[in-house]
Structure 1
Amino acid sequence: MRFLLLLALTFPILAQCQKVSSAPAGYRALRNLDYVGAGDPRQMLDLYLPEVKADKPHPLLVYIHGGGWEAGSKNEADVLLGLIQGGTPYAGASLNYRLTDQAQWPAQIFDCKAAIRWLRAHAKEYNLDPDKIAVFGISAGGHLVSMLGVTGGVKELEGELGKHLDQSSRVSCVLDFCGPSDFLTFGGKGSVIDPDDPKGALAKLIGGPLKDRREEGRKASPVTYITPDDAPFLIIHGDKDPLVPYAQATELDTALKAAHISSTLVTGSEGGHVFLSGPLLERMYAFNARHLFGKDVQIPEGAVPSK
């Protein structure tokens, strides 16, 4: 219950939080690890390691922040820290990536993949299990973790950043919290966001309004890349999300299941864009317990309270 209480206290302020998340009791934090080697603060990550000695390497949960690809920081990691303390401790990482005022797509996924390769290359040094790397993201971060989950081995999205191109960027499982999945079906009813707004977040990401950049929108959409060898997904989405339509979640879930990928859709009843409830957090923890620790636990689909 301790990790549920911690998340309940910190979750509502994540979008506005600018402070550096403190390492929780029993953990040490390694700050500003340069996963590319270029000295760019937007290409650095923080690593949270259990202080307890372990006979086996620690599974790792990597958090990718939201903010419409134009804002946000790795410092907003309180929700990650709450999750890694639940049950058997495991390691956590929170990473920065280049925002759209600095670089357009696919720079963001290039950065995320470089970070995964760096973590895998340094797994022995930090006692991490390179075969058990989960990714968790909210909103724009949900989009990026979904891309990580479905594009392992997609050469054109690997990039050439960092010193560890020999390492895989594949991940073990994905927790996608209200992330966009298909920009070509994003418009219409259900969102206050206009994908054809030339000054909007999506236009900044793909280089212009969607109506003029449909191929770029397709290439930036997770549903485009789904194959049977993709990672298992936990998809979390509020059915009243005013920013990313709930239909984005059902479309991704349907496409994954059609490809025989394990996908569990958890719907926040009357939930907006990011929400919190005890039953939701329990399912998130159970998902990690199953896929990172091999525990025989069930993660029910369906609705959960959003408060």
Structure 2
Amino acid sequence: MLQPSEITNVEVEIIHDLVYSVQNEKELLADLYIPKNSQSPVPVIIWLHGGGWRFGDRKLGPDFSTYFASRGFAMVSIEYRLSEEAIFPAPIHDVKTAVRWVKAIAETYGLDSNRIGLWGSSAGGHLAALATTSGTEEFIEDNPEYSGISSDVQAVAIGYGPVDFLKMDEQNEKDGIIEKDPESAQIPTDKKATDPDSFESLFIGAPISSCPDRVKAANPITYIKPGMSLPPFLIMHGLSDTAVPAKQSEMLYQAIAAEGNDVSLYLIKGLGHGFLNRTNLDDDGPILANCHISKDGVETNNEERTHFIFWTIEQFFVRTLKKF
């Protein structure tokens, strides 16, 4: 297999400030990164930023020309409504609208509407998982934009996304690492998920302990049914994460694997929250991780070894979106 340094990058065209949705007279924007001189429609990866559903925008993340437009993927970084504007389920409506919009504009920009992946970190990881496990019939608003177009995708990569808010406090990692990235710098270190003003409570619209049914509706695992077929998932989580416990990702992995789906889990040693915002993360070499891979309901790999993080994500999308 080629190593990261052996891949030739291509030039990238960037189109800023495309309007993908209008909500209450507010335009929701997306930036599009397209590899130049592509000879055929290119696969697409939609990035969903973190920020506790409370802050952040489509600029919060790694360099999208590097990851992964210069590698032959079209990258779409979107904004979605934050909790101070609209509570759950508004952001998940926005994500599904964005997927349908990408398919609607695919021919115009040379995109492949049949090869689309979601990639999200933290709150964006939660939204990526929920948009996928809930299928195409849940979370559809009245008179949806781009109606008649499916919101299904072919691959999902998630970094440190919460899934079951009511279990986060008991799973919390006390002795973790505070990463030096724009997202982690804004995350309170003294909050519990059950606090009335926690990110989770603000997202739901009430203290999460007071509305377990709404919390359940926001849990991606809720929608995984017996025999349910899902696209391949890649899940990554730092074992020193103090904002979202790594056990949240373990729970999602186990629920997806139990129904015979293709899912991989990387529990990464020495990393805290927000590491996907660090463009230079792989510059210091590979990082040790516990790797779990499940296919057809059987765990085929369970080992500890070193990985380049972004390289692993890229190879996942190569396998799931390019090798058709």
What range is the shorter-chain TM-score in?
0.7 to 0.9
> Given that residues 184 and 218 in structure 1 are in contact (C-alpha distance below 8 angstroms), is that contact kept between their aligned partners in structure 2?
no
> Given that residues 237 and 274 in structure 1 are in contact (C-alpha distance below 8 angstroms), is that contact kept between their aligned partners in structure 2?
no
| 1:218 positional shift | 0.6
Equivalence for 1:284: 313
Distance in 2 separating the partners of 1:239 and 1:33: 37
Equivalence for 1:293: 322
SS of equivalent to 1:81: coil
Equivalence for 1:201: 199
Equivalence for 1:26: 11
Opposite residue 290 of structure 1, the aligned amino acid is R
Distance in 2 separating the partners of 1:46 and 1:98: 16
Equivalence for 1:21: none
- Structure 1's unaligned 5+ residue stretches are 5-23, 296-307
Equivalence for 1:63: 47
Matches within 5 A, 1:36-51: 36-38=21-23, 40-41=26-27, 43-51=28-36
1:139 matched to 2:168? The reply is: no
Equivalence for 2:67: 83
> Given that residues 173 and 233 in structure 1 are in contact (C-alpha distance below 8 angstroms), is that contact kept between their aligned partners in structure 2?
yes
Q: How many residues align?
A: 273
Given the superposition, is the C-alpha separation of residues 203 and 119 from structure 1 closer, same or farther in structure 2, using an over 3 Å criterion? same
> Given that residues 36 and 114 in structure 1 are in contact (C-alpha distance below 8 angstroms), is that contact kept between their aligned partners in structure 2?
yes
| 1:2 positional shift | 10
Opposite residue 127 of structure 1, the aligned amino acid is G
Equivalence for 2:88: 105
Matches within 5 A, 1:120-139: 120-139=103-122
Deviations, residues 129-185 of structure 1 (Å, cap 9, x unaligned)? 111101111111111111122122233x12246531111111111110000122232
Q: Which has the higher strand share?
A: 2
Distance in 2 separating the partners of 1:178 and 1:67: 12
Distance in 1 separating the partners of 2:321 and 2:21: 26
Root mean square deviation, CA, Å: 2.2
> Given that residues 116 and 153 in structure 2 are in contact (C-alpha distance below 8 angstroms), is that contact kept between their aligned partners in structure 1?
yes
SS of equivalent to 2:169: coil
Deviating beyond 4 angstroms after TM superposition, the runs of 4 or more aligned structure 1 residues are: 1-4
Distance in 1 separating the partners of 2:194 and 2:115: 39
Percent identical residues: 30
| 1:281 positional shift | 1.9
Find the partner of 1:172 among 154, 160, 167: 154
Distance in 2 separating the partners of 1:109 and 1:174: 15
SS of equivalent to 1:241: coil
- Structure 2's unaligned 5+ residue stretches are 174-188, 276-280, 287-307
Equivalence for 2:137: 154
Equivalence for 2:269: 269
Distance in 1 separating the partners of 2:102 and 2:171: 40
Opposite residue 186 of structure 1, the aligned amino acid is M
Relative to the length of structure 2, the TM-score reads 0.78
Deviations, residues 58-107 of structure 1 (Å, cap 9, x unaligned)? 000110110010100112243433221464x1211000000010000000
Which region of structure 1 is more displaced relative to structure 2, 252-261 or 268-277? 268-277
SS of equivalent to 1:113: helix
